[in-house]
Structure 1
């Protein structure tokens, strides 16, 4: 098991050799299948009975998944799906614990950001063969499939079927911008000007809300690379990360300097749900999130008071942003009813269902037919994101989701340190130098194991 609160790279080295063996031993006592109890490597099963589904974005996607499950059970009356919603911030640790102690589901959300860690522990069933024989073959976005293959850890196997692609979005209040006579925040220069002008602490009005709680690192990286214009996560050698390049250090200093100056103090501990709720209910000018919160903003503000545009452009008018992980569904090896679990995955990825799920989520569907449905034209941020990613105006910095330690480094090890940066207790340079050291060691270890 990968210990989520591990803080040193030395600890990672000591445990990496034991991961595969520990996972195999754990899996001999782990399975859900028909009865949810433990046992062995699992089996195909009868294709009937009970399966357990873990939602990796519980609370946010619960309603739409319950609708889909009800429709699936109606179409497959011999299969009963037990839904378990788990908050995105807790999902990886819950799965890691279940890998070690038993009780894994049959099927669950497995996005690119967590895929390598689960695959390294031998917990996921390879799905290439099933997809090749499926009615879904040839009907899913090839780039999303390749993204998940690349994130799997280096063996070129597909351990998750893509459901959605996400993208970073800068949401801004059009009513507040118009009142203040501000230009759209389509450049970083306009962004900083607006953040300052829209702030009036005496009226509890702020120009921006910054993510200081869970999930803060990816947003900070997006701001760094967007401003610096650096387009690769690794240098030309492929061994040293660019996160602590002087241009990125300067960018983070400027970005972190927004905290409490033009943002609420509560931002220090805000994860995305709190940050989104705060923006929807208050008088904050701008919010960086992704396509997933679009429907929340529509419900709270209506379509006339805000827009969601691609990230601001930086040097030379170019837009640079970090990759957003593709989300998907994985089949756990310990399942005793893999046939029924696969039926559920196929159903979830069918045209109508995948379209309905992504319309609710505001994300780009993996099903190629669903991606052509009319609602995408009506959801402006989704339409603009798709255009920005296809018209050559945007460079994507591919984050190393393939590193088994990526989630530990980008979450448990460094989110508390980013809070120290916001509070002025740790310099941006020291913060990024430490992260770079961890990333370089993880990259070296990964290359040795996969070389």
Structure 2
């Protein structure tokens, strides 16, 4: 098995429409090697022999490297005529890495393709539709229907499947039960209890903090979770579907209150912390609460065991109503330019099978896409996963569906606005100005998308 770890530097490209992005790719390939009209950089690839070498890009390299190495070893043992080259890419750099390869060549055969970035890749005709392969596969009927529906909806509107779902995540509020008990605090199951605990557990002189806030990469979705959770607004768009609700006055007030936690009850280092640094900080310090997702559960178990912390669904607002934003389904996509699609599909099929999917999600602490894997004993034992599944099925939670179908979504919600959110935390930009800017970009992207769909 060949293992290599690579990374690329994020370039923070400017937002473009799907039409412009696709045109740029086709123009480049027409100049370089002649445009055959097949898409994916003018290269429709080939099914290949079903043997030989394939390249797999992990979209969460470093975090999920060990479990992917294990699954690859299992796959190569079961398929000795296929060699998988693993390339681990940090989640914060993955989109720019794929975008660069789309324009300059060098795409892998298989790559991690979550719902949040799916529309942008599909708009550039980079991915192979997988409906026909899935229909003939042993996976047919074995994948969670809601996750399949989410993947199809995120593909840009043509109702095709461009990524086989592997797992679903969910927002979780982790809290230190030992610190809460010592302070005589109630569980932070409501937003009122959350803010009360954040204040009570903070002693800056002793380097003790009530909360850690995400100010670095990935901060926008987490901030939205706090906004909608407090405001109780249940739709991302207004009744006409033309204007976003992100800058609704209730959301503005919610974000203002949430951002005010920075440096008051949180470490100053939070300004630049992505999820890995935030999780490591919580696991090694005396911080009361952490808002992340199911993916970090195993890290906390390693740090504390299971008796010093809990992971519960997001806090409820007045009247016991819980509102949270959708967390994207993750999956595996087959790049259209692959010269060995049959072998690449075998790898996807193996990774999403019962045993491998269970193994991956137990390691990641996430909800398996394979319905047989979702019935395995570890799911019941992993309390945050169990509670998240209950919250999503018992009617207590309303999900605000984020517009993953917009080709520009990933850029708007990351590179274009993360620096502005840091300004909000620093008090250099108001919550209203930040959300008005975000809303303007989202409304424009929505109008462009609707125009392209006729």
* 2:72 match: 69
| Alignment-derived partner of residue 303 in structure 2 | 300
Q: Could you report, residue by residue, the CA deviation over 1:202-259 in whole angstroms, capped at 9, with x for unpaired residues?
A: 1100000000000000000000000000000001010000000000000000000000
Select 2:218's aligned residue among 206, 211, 215.
Answer: 215
How is 1:81-100 mapped onto 2 (pairs within 5 angstroms)? Answer: 81-100=84-103
Secondary structure at 1:12's aligned position in 2? coil
Alignment-derived partner of residue 232 in structure 2: 229
Query: 1-side partners of 2:20 and 2:215: how far apart?
Result: 33
Give 2:326's aligned residue.
Answer: 323
Q: Distance in 1 between the 2:330 and 2:43 partners? A: 27
Is 2:401 the counterpart of 1:398? yes
* TM-score of the two chains, using structure 1 as the length reference: 0.95
> Does 2:198 align with 1:195?
yes
Are 1:160 and 2:163 an aligned pair?
yes
* Pairwise CA distance, 1:341: 0.1
Report the counterpart of residue 12 of structure 1 in structure 2. 16
Aligned: 1:385 with 2:388: yes
Residue 38 (structure 2) aligns with: none
The answer to whether the 8 Å contact 1:23/1:122 transfers is: no
1:351-387 CA distances to partner (integer Å, 9 max, x unpaired)? 0110010000000000000000000111000000000
Alignment of 1:44-443 (within 5 A): 44-443=47-446
Residues 60, 185 of structure 1: CA spacing in aligned structure 2 closer, same or farther, 3 A cutoff? same
Check conservation: 1:209, 1:287, Cα contact below 8 A: yes
Give the whole-Å Cα distance in 1 for the aligned partners of 2:365 and 2:86: 22
Task: Return the TM-score normalized by structure 2.
Answer: 0.94
Residues 313 and 391 in structure 2, CA contact (< 8 A), matched pair in contact too: yes
Question: Distance in 1 between the 2:376 and 2:185 partners?
Answer: 34
Q: Which runs of 5+ in 1 are unaligned?
A: 31-37
Change (3 A) 1:27 1:107: farther
Task: Name the SS for the 2:72 alignment partner.
Answer: helix
Quote the Cα distance in structure 2 between the aligned partners of 1:158 and 1:94.
22
Change beyond 3 A, Cα 1:129–1:97: same
How has the CA–CA distance of structure 1 residues 26 and 146 changed in structure 2, closer, same or farther, with 3 Å as cutoff?
farther
SS in 2 for 1:190: helix
SS of equivalent to 1:24:
helix
Aligned with 2:413: secondary structure? Answer: helix
Could you list the per-position Cα deviations for residues 29-74 of structure 1 after superposition, in whole angstroms to 9, with x for gaps in the alignment?
79xxxxxxx9832100000000000000000000000000001000
| 8 Å Cα contact 1:23-1:123 kept in structure 2 | no
Does structure 2 conserve the Cα–Cα contact (< 8 Å) formed by 1:48 and 1:340? yes
Compute the RMSD of aligned alpha carbons. 1.4
1:73-128 deviation digits (Å, cap 9, x = unpaired): 00000000000000000000000000000000000000000000100111000001
Structure 1 pair 17/352, CA: closer, same or farther in 2 (3 Å)?
closer
Q: Is the 8 A contact 2:60 2:91 kept in 1?
A: yes
1:74 alignment partner, SS class: helix
State the SS of the aligned residue for 2:92.
helix
Unaligned runs of 5+ in 2: 1-9, 34-40
CA distance in 1, matches of 2:359, 2:237: 37
CA distance in 2 between counterparts of 1:288 and 1:205 reads: 17
Mapped partners of 1:81, 1:353: distance in 2: 16
Describe the SS at the equivalent of 1:441. helix
